Structure 1
Amino acid sequence: MKVITFDAATMAAAVAAGELSARELVDASLSCIAATDGQVNAFTETTAARARAEADAVDAQRARGDTLGPLAGVPYAVKNLFDIEGLTTLAGSKVNQGLPAASADAVLITQMKAAGAVLVGALNMDEYAYGFTTENTHYGPCHNPHDLTRVAGGSSGGSGAAVAAGQVPVTLGSDTNGSIRVPSSLCGVWGLKPTFGRLSRRGTYPFVHSIDHLGPMASSLAGLGLAYDTLQQPDPLDPGSHALRVQPVTSALGKGIAGLRIGVLGGYFHDNAGPEARAAVALAGRTLGAQAEVTWPDAALARAAAFIITASEGGSLHLGDLRTRADDFEPLSVDRFIAGALQPVHWYLRAQRFRRVYRDKVNALFKDWDVLLTPATPVSATVIGTEWLELNGVRQPCRAAMGLLTQPISFAGCPVVTAPLWPAGTGGMPLGVQVIAAPWREDLAFRASQVLADAGVAHIQSVTL
């Protein structure tokens, strides 16, 4: 019996060498999903027939001696806000069930297929991406594979849980206010929120157009880099995509951190992190030789402005359905959508004006620093259904509080690798650290993350379900 390794880079190398077939990999992935997803609930749909056809096409390429793509034979899945040809794009909602099936794949799915990756299904998420826990009323909550009583994070909860459960080695998700970084932290996997505008969003269901990012999650940093390098192609048909030169990160992984100026964020980020989160970032800082505590400008104001823009754009997008089908919306988020639709336009415009000034302040910070560190979530995964969180003596609404440390970063558009750490005091649960770099410098975040991985500080842990 052949042993299937759970890493995209190793899988692709094995297929290229003829040690494994793409069909073997996809069958193993589909078998794992069938055996475990009744407990995890990461998938809303599998695409078995398509997956086997794509795998067979890869195997036929190899048999002909054709050059294979960098992800040849690697199974992956996508958050169900990505268009998949022939399927209705649910975006976690009941309302969308009546929409026609997508006529074409999203751009990023097309790029993954061109690289030889094999799509096995669509993944659970918070409705319309408005949430941090994937406690979806319509499709059921997504369970954390490390403790099935706990949340997987959100809104890309299925994307994090599918990797953590060993169902696939790579997934695609979206991140507006933390929706890749939060589930990466809580599920203990690698995640990347790229620079705003780096990857095409064409063919995905929007949440907040002016803040939405797309990105990969993976079981290894090498796999994360392979997926990202596959995806970073400018799209002239996406007005939010910036036509900058492609900058591969896989070639940067072995360069180390010599000469990099690395700091740990204090102030707001220290005050809004629990003791285990502080311990995680302290360990990462020691490993990387962090040189000082750094103050991020206007973090609390940035979070407030992100909330205003999120609510306003989200409410506006769904205004028609909110007027006629409010009862079909997610009970955990419908009030926020309605409130956002009722916000004064003055609030929205003021928040956008602040954002321009804020980004200038953040970019100036990177004149003195190359990489900055902070926890990805204030605590590890909470029990499903938890309403309130006690954080450093302050009572916080639990679901919203999971984005305390991520929202100020994405509001500036900076790239972030979330590294999975396992600090003491969490009961064996993971808690990730954000490795932040200046816009368009994903390579620096990957270099620092590689040092954490090489030191054994950041890694995934397998689960038995």
Structure 2
Amino acid sequence: MIADSDLLSAAAIARAVNGGKLSALSVTEAALARIKRHDPVLNSFTDVTADRARAKARAIDAAVAAGQNGGPLAGVPYAVKNLFDVQGLPTRAGSKINRELRPSRRDATLIERMEAAGAVLVGALNMGEYAYDFTGENVHDGPSRNPHDVTRMSGGSSGGCGGAVAGGLVPLALGSDTNGSIRVPSSFCGIFGLKPTYGRLSRARSFPFVASLDHLGPFARSVEDLALAYDAMSGPDPEDAACAMRPAEPVSALLAEGIGGLRIAIAGGYFQHNVFPEAMAAIARVAKALGTTEMIEIPEAARARAAAYVITATEGAALHLDRLRKRPLDFDPAVRDRLLAGAMIPAPLVGRAHKFRRWYRDRVLQVFETVDVIVAPATPCVAPKLGQATFVLDGAVLPLRANIGIHTQPISFIGLPVVAVPVPLEPMPIGVQIIAAPWREDIALRVAYALQRAGAVAAPRPRGI
């Protein structure tokens, strides 16, 4: 029997199920019970797929009883942001309009790969409308709440992912990140998140936001679990043109190789401004554990953020233009207004943003000729209060929603791999970005693992439920 207080890791569950010490069905029932108990407060789930989960768990138990291996994620419960296609569910993408779609006929590629590895899908998760959000506050489904303080934001747009994993409802969740939507909830909720290199993990059969910026990736409470999920999902997919060619080597076995010889620097300049003391304390703790004091400048990061805004707004507006014309009142007004503004950006400015993007990528890749890893804040602050509209940074009152991603946007703008690691400060955790060169998720995960082993980063137990 698994107690409600047991927050088992994915790795521990898979070992126990494959070894016959736990049944996949008992693990699934424990997860469903925890969801039933705590989700009325957290509001992480929009759908619970209990029948599907039980059927999958029974199949795993039968396979193990017959002497087969249940897979590297045997019996591990997980959930997905509701922009993933889930067979039998409409892909709502956090919106009112999409829930009228016909149920999906096939799972997203990443769900198929998780299932092939033995994982058990228990539901779909709350998110900001059409992924255009940093807060986790959905006007249609209600806000997803932070498990460490339910009066605070979970972060967005993958807010349900952050709440579900940090609250111990599931050990793994899958979300998306366009401008920071994996790293922000990871930071606010105090868990680990991986935004892989652009094109590393397939986006096939997920609802898009900005095709040239969209990434999918996992959340977990440990680096080992993050790596297990990443390994299960990696590999080319011809159904996603960005993910059609590049194979990935498994990283789980590489975590313990250590970080000796790696060149690690702290992001200076832009990334040292517009931050609260908690973010700087987290950076200092991580830097001390890694034994680095070197500062390095990422050139033109502020301009990269501005260009990311232009591309996000225009590509997002183009995707939703027909919906905006026909059903404007069915949008979250804040999302609608940003999309309408994006539709009015002159084409020459969009062209300049794309041209700058190419230049910026080349400059940042030159930085990685001298370092292997860059450490930077994930968010400027700990999780704000639900409904909070502004905060004061460097003496200026700024709109909160627009500035939560101030440190994530210049990184995802050129598709770099990042592991968000949680620093368990009191009373609220906050995250740090571990940034590597393209296709070097292995390095970012090794550094995150070294920090975890040193005790500098950890996912705290939920404090608010």
Which TM-score bucket, shorter chain as reference?
A: over 0.9
Specify which of 6, 9, 29 is matched with residue 8 of structure 2.
6
Query: Could you tell me whether the CA contact under 8 Å between 2:182 and 2:195 is conserved in 1?
Result: yes
Distance 2:92 2:349 in 1: 30
Specify which of 138, 141, 144 is matched with residue 139 of structure 1.
141
Distance 1:380 1:167 in 2: 22
Distance 2:152 2:201 in 1: 31
| Mean CA deviation greater in 87-96 or 229-238 | 229-238
* Matched residue, 2:97: 95
Distance 1:166 1:395 in 2: 35
Query: Could you tell me whether the CA contact under 8 Å between 2:129 and 2:332 is conserved in 1?
Result: yes
1:372-451 correspondence runs (5 A): 372-423=374-425, 427-451=426-450
Distance 2:299 2:289 in 1: 25
Deviations 1:249-275 (A, max 9, x none): 112210111000000001100012211
Q: Which amino acid aligns with 1:439?
A: P
Query: Could you tell me whether the CA contact under 8 Å between 2:158 and 2:185 is conserved in 1?
Result: yes
1:245 and 2:247 correspond: yes
Q: Which amino acid aligns with 2:174?
A: L
Identity among equivalent positions (%) equals 54
* 1:67 Cα deviation from its structure 2 partner: 2.4
Query: Could you tell me whether the CA contact under 8 Å between 2:422 and 2:429 is conserved in 1?
Result: yes
Deviations 1:161-197 (A, max 9, x none): 0001110000000000000000000000010000000
Q: Which amino acid aligns with 2:395?
A: G
* Matched residue, 1:184: 186
* Matched residue, 2:451: 452
Query: Could you tell me whether the CA contact under 8 Å between 1:272 and 1:405 is conserved in 2?
Result: no
Distance 1:289 1:24 in 2: 43
* Matched residue, 2:88: 86
Q: Which amino acid aligns with 1:457?
A: A
Structure 1 runs of 4+ aligned residues shifted over 6 Å read none
* 1:399 Cα deviation from its structure 2 partner: 1.1
* 1:394 Cα deviation from its structure 2 partner: 2.1
1:300-339 correspondence runs (5 A): 300-339=302-341
Specify which of 268, 278, 288 is matched with residue 286 of structure 1.
288
TM-score, structure 2 as length reference: 0.98
Distance 1:386 1:106 in 2: 34
Query: Could you tell me whether the CA contact under 8 Å between 1:198 and 1:242 is conserved in 2?
Result: no
* 1:2 Cα deviation from its structure 2 partner: 4.4
* Matched residue, 1:254: 256
Query: Could you tell me whether the CA contact under 8 Å between 1:55 and 1:118 is conserved in 2?
Result: yes
* 1:332 Cα deviation from its structure 2 partner: 2.3
Q: Which amino acid aligns with 2:445?
A: F
Number of equivalences: 462
Ranges in structure 1 where 5+ consecutive residues have no aligned partner:
none
* 1:68 Cα deviation from its structure 2 partner: 2.1
Distance 1:447 1:87 in 2: 37
* Matched residue, 1:158: 160
1:268-279 correspondence runs (5 A): 268-279=270-281
Query: Could you tell me whether the CA contact under 8 Å between 1:6 and 1:219 is conserved in 2?
Result: no
* Matched residue, 1:43: 45
1:8-23 correspondence runs (5 A): 8-23=10-25
Deviations 1:283-309 (A, max 9, x none): 101100114111011100100000000
Distance 2:398 2:8 in 1: 37
* Matched residue, 1:344: 346
Q: Which amino acid aligns with 1:86?
A: G
Q: Which amino acid aligns with 1:408?
A: P
Ranges in structure 2 where 5+ consecutive residues have no aligned partner:
none
- Report the secondary structure of 1:340's partner residue: helix
* Matched residue, 2:58: 56
Query: Could you tell me whether the CA contact under 8 Å between 1:261 and 1:291 is conserved in 2?
Result: no
Distance 2:452 2:244 in 1: 30
Deviations 1:98-120 (A, max 9, x none): 11111100000000000000000
Q: Which amino acid aligns with 1:278?
A: M
- Report the secondary structure of 2:174's partner residue: strand
1:97-246 correspondence runs (5 A): 97-246=99-248
Query: Could you tell me whether the CA contact under 8 Å between 2:2 and 2:26 is conserved in 1?
Result: no
Deviations 1:278-331 (A, max 9, x none): 110111011001141110111001000000000001111010110121110012
After superposition, the CA RMSD in angstroms is 1.0
- Report the secondary structure of 1:395's partner residue: strand
Distance 1:428 1:456 in 2: 18
- Report the secondary structure of 2:448's partner residue: helix
Distance 2:2 2:140 in 1: 39
Distance 2:80 2:47 in 1: 10
Q: Which amino acid aligns with 1:431?
A: I
- Report the secondary structure of 2:90's partner residue: coil
Query: Could you tell me whether the CA contact under 8 Å between 1:160 and 1:183 is conserved in 2?
Result: yes
- Report the secondary structure of 2:413's partner residue: helix
Query: Could you tell me whether the CA contact under 8 Å between 1:211 and 1:411 is conserved in 2?
Result: yes
Distance 2:417 2:274 in 1: 21
TM-score, structure 1 as length reference: 0.98
Distance 1:356 1:198 in 2: 19
Q: Which amino acid aligns with 1:208?
A: V
Query: Could you tell me whether the CA contact under 8 Å between 2:7 and 2:171 is conserved in 1?
Result: no
Q: Which amino acid aligns with 2:363?
A: K
Q: Which amino acid aligns with 1:229?
A: D
* Matched residue, 1:368: 370
* Matched residue, 2:301: 299
